[in-house]
Amino acid sequence: MALHRLTSVTMGVPNVEETAAYYADFGLQRGDESGLQIWFSTRDGGRQLRIVPAATRRLVDLHVGVDDADDLDRAAGNLRNLGIEVERGPGWISAVEKVTGTRAYLEIAGRLTQDTVTPTPYNGPGRTERPDTRAPGILREDRVAPRKLGHAVMGSTDPQTTEAFFVSGLGFKISDRIKGAGTFMRCSTDHHNVLVLGAPVSFLHHTSWQVDDVDDVGRGAATMLEDHPERHVWGLGRHYGGSNFFWYLKDPAGNFSEYYSDMDCIVDDQLWTPQDLEGARGLFSWGPPPPPSFIHPDDLAAMMTGAHTGP
């Protein structure tokens, strides 16, 4: 596909430094700082999270990698056909999704290649992949550090219009839908890079970060919760849409952050059939049920009235 990866996101929050300290604990590498903005990097993806000041928590922008200028031309034409103004620079275009106010950038960028790691060995019925040794997940002592940014989830008061911006405008593809609630969309071979949910106010629901395996999902969450049990939101579990293991935590601004592993990858579009997921399948395959605050975050009413300044 012309689009090949979610390069980075910019998160706007009222409390930049407090939120930045959380993402350093989460395992992202704090880097460039200019004024009040702070960049964070992943092990494989480079600079992938920027935190900036904002009156309410929101997805300020996202960057998507493309291969060449023809990809930019195609997307620019599609956006203009939707009546959306396009800005252009050397090697990039940008446009604002009018419902959420999020600015999207398409930029010519190299494709992300991740080094192949040795698959985690698992013993099972009639299968001994790990003879005479303990499971590596309990022997690891290093701090969990996410490999890459996986996806962002955003609430929209007009999800159909927001979906059209990403699909008909930018060129994202639909992977699955949550019936009556939202749409999983991809700009890479990952099952989803953006999920748009219907909501009473536009906001950033969560960002999701890839780790090596389910052990690192659990290890990362356990470390985050050791001195801060109030960070727990939902997990451990396994989604149906995307199939990934998950654990969700909450940052000081009220955004959720997710450790994930084992996401579905759609390499051949012709072999994948999108589904309309209903009921529990729209949220998870197994695990504890999601708390009400995951579906309707506690600060939504405050954001709707403009009173929100943090959780």
Residue 13: closest CA among 52, 61, 62: 52
Cβ atoms of 38 and 20 within 8 Å: the answer is yes
- Cα gap 39→32, rounded to integer Å: 5
Q: Domain ranges in the chain? A: 3-112+146-305
How high is the pLDDT of residue 36? 85
Instruction: Give 56-89 pLDDT, tens digit per residue.
Output: 999 999 999 999 999 999 999 999 999 999 999 9
pLDDT score of 311: 46
Please count the residues of the chain: 311
Residues of the chain with pLDDT under 50: 310-311
Angle between helix 214-225 and helix 16-26 axes, rounded to 10 deg: 130
Cα–Cα distance, 103 to 305 (Å, whole number): 23
Q: Tell me: domain 3-112+146-305, CATH 3.10.180.10, correct?
A: yes
Q: pTM here?
A: 0.96
pLDDT of residue 309: 52
The per-residue pLDDT for 35 is 77
Distance set, CA 21 to CA 51, 162, 253 (Å): 11, 31, 11
